[in-house]
């Protein structure tokens, strides 16, 4: 069908809700094409899109279709899988509760048990719930850190990690085979609740998750002595972090936590920020204001579904330093390994995991403690797979996993990024440096002096719609086939094409990569700098990752600026 025919089919559907019909009627031709030229696709972390009418938008019909596909996948695994059921949680966005409970109604129509939280809950608690209730799968309704116009739908496997490629591909096939999303059957919500096939979860699950957090601290004496009165500012940015993070900090013994109360209320419009993204310093404006008022040592912010955390630390002049995702990863890794070494609890087979586009600084840190670093594709499900592999084989002991995009996991009772765990550990790390008469900013400086001045930058370019998708493909093809031999006057020493699973050195020798296929290109330069290019799996973006090492941070950042300019010149 053409996009015009799809549009007309939606417009002709008699039972379409008024708000969606009004959306259709208000569309100009370009918007119609973007809303209907394709179906919203599953990527590295499910699907994400603008809220509204259309097959390329997120709405009740697209959610029903995705859940119908999941129901067929679960049913294909047998009656026991249907009884184990699906855990479902949702964040503070527009239509999140509706999408969550409609998903449960679709599952109930197939005789599949579901466990749905009574109100908004963070992504890590959904991952925990999948494992805690022995569910066969999970659904998280969220658009993570995207602006208010977005929502999304992430699917989890039975290990509590985002659904791995084999099942995700099967799910995609089931979804694509559904011709008419308007014909999908829903069970009656109240009848399904009464029968128990939809079970509503609440405080009992929160308590179990918080209980697991009690083992997170490596040195609780530090918190008692130096953390109890340490001033910390926390903001949930109008999202789900408010549900558990405040309680988790108090439970751990951090008694001087100040909350940005104006951002503690769930708000689908995220009215105090332009975007609820803790990667951005702009999202910290109110936290910085409160931090200066109370003299806070560290500021912490979680995104709407509380799987990512941003950190700012006070510097000697009183200003706040907005740490990069890689810097946060480095300081967490360093503390975990050092604290366990001091306590005599660092295992000989210690292992860390990171994505292929995250800093090599953490690899250096790991190696200095005799730990092994595993590099995986972007998508936290690949870290979850490694954790499961370690548990199955007992070859390695998992210590820490992270992605440069502000996602961290310390304790694997969760199998996705967990900002609540990260908030607790960063607070403990601040107490550790305070015990030495230092700040977190001093801690970053110590790491740089010991391991080298590493700098990184991620550039996201949004290219929306059909034209944007074609532009992204063209950029990837240009890099793949015609990339220059030098950047910043430095030879490309190794070119890795993760789609073709090949690594080609400067002499033309080709070896095979061991990761699964993925549309990522990575160029290692002769001076230990590197950059990578990949389309986003869940957003209409192409991302460029640049990493350098220099004699000083300023020199490393100068290299980044040069490489960024040359990439921009090459693309344009």
* Residues near 325 by beta carbon (within 8 Å), at least 6 away in sequence: 279, 358, 402, 403, 404, 405, 406, 407, 458
Q: What is the pLDDT of residues 329-372, one digit of tens each?
A: 999 999 999 999 999 999 999 999 999 999 999 999 999 999 99
Range of the domain at 148: 38-209
Instruction: Give the Cα separation of 255 and 252 in Å (integer).
Output: 9
CA separation for the pair 435, 492 (Å, rounded): 44
Half-sphere exposure of 10 (CA within 13 A, CB side): 30
- Are 193 and 46 contained in the same domain? yes
CA 549 to CA 445: how far, in whole Å?
A: 14
Q: What's the N-to-C CA distance of the chain in angstroms?
A: 34
Confidence check: pLDDT of 45 > 70: no
**Strand positions, DSSP E, 202-292:** 232-235, 257-259
CATH number at residue 487: 3.30.310.50
**pLDDT tens digits, 122-142:** 999 999 999 999 999 999 999
pLDDT at res. 304:
97
89-109 in b/e burial notation, b at 16+ Cβ within 10 A?
bbbbbbbbbebbbbbbbbbbb
When pLDDT is averaged across residues 270-299 and rounded to a whole number, the result is: 96
Question: Is residue 507 a part of any domain in this protein?
Answer: yes
Residues 282 and 429 in one domain: yes
Whether residue 213 has pLDDT greater than 90: yes
pTM exceeds 0.75 for this model:
yes
Are the C-beta atoms of residues 54 and 544 closer than 8 Å to each other?
no
Residue 466 has pLDDT above 90, yes or no: no
Give dist(CA 350, CA 371) in Å, integer: 5
What's the number of domains the chain is made of?
A: 3
Residues 391 and 537 in one domain: no
Work out the mean pLDDT of the chain and round it to a whole number.
95
Whether residues 106 and 240 share a domain: the answer is no
Q: Are 422 and 332 in contact (CB under 8 A)?
A: yes
Does 496 share its domain with 523? Answer: yes
Residues 24-37 have a mean pLDDT of 96
Q: Are residues 49 and 122 in the same domain?
A: yes
Contact call for residues 307 and 236 (beta carbons, < 8 A) = no
Please check whether residue 426 lies inside any domain of the structure. Answer: yes
107 and 65 in one domain?
A: yes
**For residue 572, what pLDDT band results from cuts at 50, 70 and 90?**
confident
Statement: residue 433 has pLDDT above 80: yes
d(CA 218, CA 432): 11
Confidence of residue 16 (pLDDT cuts 50, 70, 90): very high
In the predicted structure, residue 164 carries a pLDDT above the cut 90: no
Strand pairing class (530-535; 521-525): antiparallel
Examine residue 27 and state whether it is found in any structural domain, yes or no.
Answer: no
| C-alpha–C-alpha distance, residues 353 and 355, integer Å | 7
CA distance 560 to 550: 10
DSSP E strand stretches across 79-182: 86-90, 114-117, 137-141, 150-156
Same domain, 494 and 531: yes
Same domain assignment for residues 241 and 304: yes
Tell me the average pLDDT across 148-159: 96
Q: Check pLDDT > 90 for residue 165.
A: no
Lowest-pLDDT range, 39-53, 209-223, 295-309, 446-460? Answer: 39-53
Residue 316 lies in a domain: yes
| End position of a domain, from candidates 451, 470, 494 | 451
| Residue pLDDT, tens place only, 493-520 | 999 999 999 999 999 999 999 998 999 9
From residue 28, alpha-carbon distances to 4, 6, 24, 34, 468 in Å are 12, 15, 9, 10, 18
How far apart CA 317 and CA 324 sit, in angstroms, is 20
Does 280 participate in catalysis according to the annotation? Answer: no
> Do 261 and 389 have their domain in common?
yes
42 and 122 together in one domain = yes
Decide if 18 is inside a domain.
Answer: no
Catalytic residue among 96, 144, 355, 536: 144
Predicted pLDDT of residue 44 = 61
pLDDT digits (tens, 9 = 90+) for 366-377: 999 999 999 999
Q: Do 197 and 267 reside in the same domain of the chain? A: no
Q: Cβ atoms within 10 A of the Cβ of 552, count?
A: 11
26 in a domain, yes or no? no
Other C-beta atoms closer than 10 Å to the C-beta of 418 total 32
Structure confidence at residue 539 (pLDDT):
73
Q: Of 421, 451, 481, which marks where a domain is finished?
A: 451
Q: Where residue 192 sits, what CATH number does that domain have?
A: 3.40.120.10
Out of 209, 239, 268, pick the residue that ends a domain. 209
| Structure-block tokens of residue 519 | 């549309």
């Amino acid at each position: 069908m053409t996009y015009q025919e799809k549009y007309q089919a939606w417009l002709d559907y008699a039972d379409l809700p008024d708000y969606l019909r009004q959306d259709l009627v208000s569309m100009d031709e370009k918007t119609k094409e973007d809303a209907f030229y394709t179906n919203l696709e599953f990527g590295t972390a499910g699907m994400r899109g603008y809220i509204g009418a259309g097959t390329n938008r997120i709405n009740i019909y697209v959610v029903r279709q995705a859940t119908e596909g999941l129901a067929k996948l679960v049913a294909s695994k047998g009656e026991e899988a249907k009884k184990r059921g699906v855990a479902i949680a949702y964040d503070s966005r527009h239509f999140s509760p509706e999408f969550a409970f409609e998903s449960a109604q679709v599952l109930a129509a197939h005789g599949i048990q579901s466990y749905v939280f009574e109100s908004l809950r963070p992504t890590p608690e959904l991952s925990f719930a999948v494992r805690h209730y022995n569910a066969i799968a999970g659904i998280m309704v969220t658009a993570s850190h995207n602006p208010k116009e977005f929502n999304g739908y992430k699917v989890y496997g039975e290990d509590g990690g985002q659904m791995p490629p084999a099942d995700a591909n099967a799910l995609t096939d089931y979804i694509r085979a559904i011709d008419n999303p308007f014909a999908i059957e829903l069970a009656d919500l109240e009848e399904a609740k009464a029968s128990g096939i939809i079970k509503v979860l609440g405080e009992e699950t929160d308590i179990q998750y918080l209980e697991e957090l009690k083992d997170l601290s490596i040195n609780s004496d530090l918190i008692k002595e130096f953390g109890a009165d340490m001033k910390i500012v926390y903001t949930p940015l109008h999202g789900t972090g408010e549900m558990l993070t405040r309680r988790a900090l108090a439970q751990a013994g951090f008694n001087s936590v100040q909350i940005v109360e104006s951002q503690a209320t769930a708000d689908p419009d995220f009215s105090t920020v332009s975007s609820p993204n803790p990667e951005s310093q702009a999202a910290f404006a109110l936290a910085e204001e409160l931090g200066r008022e109370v003299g806070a040592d560290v500021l912490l912010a979680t995104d709407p579904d509380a799987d990512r955390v941003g950190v700012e630390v006070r510097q000697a002049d009183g200003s706040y330093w907005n740490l990069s995702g890689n810097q946060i990863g480095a300081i967490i890794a360093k503390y975990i390994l050092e604290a366990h070494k001091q306590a005599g609890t660092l295992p000989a087979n210690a292992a860390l995991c990171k994505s292929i586009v995250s800093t090599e600084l953490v690899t250096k840190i790991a190696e200095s403690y005799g730990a092994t670093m595993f590099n995986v594709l972007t998508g936290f499900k690949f870290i979850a797979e490694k954790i499961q592999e370690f548990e199955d084989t007992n070859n390695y002991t998992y210590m820490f996993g992270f992605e440069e995009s502000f996602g961290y996991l310390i304790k694997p009772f969760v199998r996705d990024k967990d900002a609540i765990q990260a908030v607790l550990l960063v607070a403990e790390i601040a107490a550790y440096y305070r015990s030495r008469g230092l700040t977190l900013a001093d801690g970053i400086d110590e790491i740089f002096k010991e391991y080298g001045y590493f700098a990184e930058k991620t550039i996201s370019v949004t290219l929306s719609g059909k034209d944007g998708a074609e532009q992204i493909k063209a950029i990837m093809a240009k890099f793949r086939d015609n990339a220059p031999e030098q950047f910043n006057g430095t030879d490309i020493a190794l070119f890795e094409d993760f789609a073709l699973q090949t690594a080609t050195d400067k002499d033309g020798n080709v070896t095979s990569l061991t990761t699964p296929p993925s549309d990522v290109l990575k160029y290692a330069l002769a001076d230990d700098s590197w950059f990578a290019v990949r389309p986003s799996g869940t957003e209409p973006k192409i991302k460029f990752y640049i990493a350098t090492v220099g004699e000083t941070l300023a020199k490393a950042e100068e290299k980044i600026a040069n490489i960024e300019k040359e990439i921009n010149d090459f693309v344009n």
